[in-house]
Amino acid sequence: MSLLEAPVRVRTAHAVVAASGLTRQYGEGDTTVHALRNVSIEIEEARLTAIMGPSGSGKSTLMHILAGLDAPTEGSVTIDGVEITGMNDKQLTRLRREHIGFVFQFFNLLPMLTAEENILLPLSIAGEKPEREWVEELLETVGIADRSTHRPSQLSGGQQQRVSIARALISKPSVLFADEPTGNLDSTTSKDVLALLRHSVEELGQTTVMVTHDASAAALADRILFLADGQIVKEVRGSTAAEVLAAMQEVSGR
């Protein structure tokens, strides 16, 4: 099975992830921090959605809640039409196995496993057998086929992040969440990594949510949501980096 023959999803604006009325507070009384205030969004299928905003805007909190890592104080989230707020640990574990992929800022690869073993880890956790061709294709796509037996410490930052993306893609999740995927990379390798994410959206129809504060990263997104003070303040589609930067400044300066 080649990449192009991978299950092509119908490109409609169907919402893979939907959130409504999300509120998240930390602490109580005078020290209450309102990380999110009544946020409602829908993440469209087979699109790259970027969430941007200055530090403390609540963008990370939003992603954590969308991904089921954190629970909202109020509001609800559905993934593939299934309500995830209030799920117990067992259900959340199933959800992560079948519907969610993660890419982290610090890669979070397991140092004792080789690149390939890291990529296959989600399958092995779920007790599934990898399809050999799919694995080969994935290694090829992320460009580390020749380094599949290397350990993370023998790989560059960009290579590590590509392994991490492959790991997120291996189980063909409904949605891939990337948390500042270029936050720990230089600009050249950032480009490679972003190109890979873009490629997976284009070619695999992989629904992706990316939190970033890098304008050039966000510029690759189909849709950019701007957060400030825990609220969505702006939404842009198909922008250039310059436009994104301008929008960021507008948002930050508010």
Site residues (vs another protein, CB under 8 A): 60, 64, 69-70, 89-90, 92-94, 96-98, 100, 102, 104-106, 108, 110-113, 117, 121-122, 124-126, 167, 171, 179
Q: How far is the CB of 251 from another protein (least distance, A)?
A: 23
Looking at beta carbons only, is 76 or 108 nearer to another protein? 108
CA 209, chain centre distance (Å)? 4
Looking at beta carbons only, is 40 or 91 nearer to another protein? 91
Looking at beta carbons only, is 110 or 242 nearer to another protein? 110
CA 152, chain centre distance (Å)? 21
Looking at beta carbons only, is 159 or 239 nearer to another protein? 159
Q: How far is the CB of 246 from another protein (least distance, A)?
A: 29
Looking at beta carbons only, is 118 or 200 nearer to another protein? 118
Q: What is the DSSP string of 20-40?
A: EEEEEEES-GGG-EEEEEEEE
SS (H, E, C) 85-147: CCCCHHHHHHHHHHHEEEECCCCCCCCCCCHHHHHHHHHHHHCCCCCHHHHHHHHHHHCCHHH
SS3 call for 50: strand
Q: How far is the CB of 68 from another protein (least distance, A)?
A: 8
* Maximum pairwise Cα distance, the chain: 58
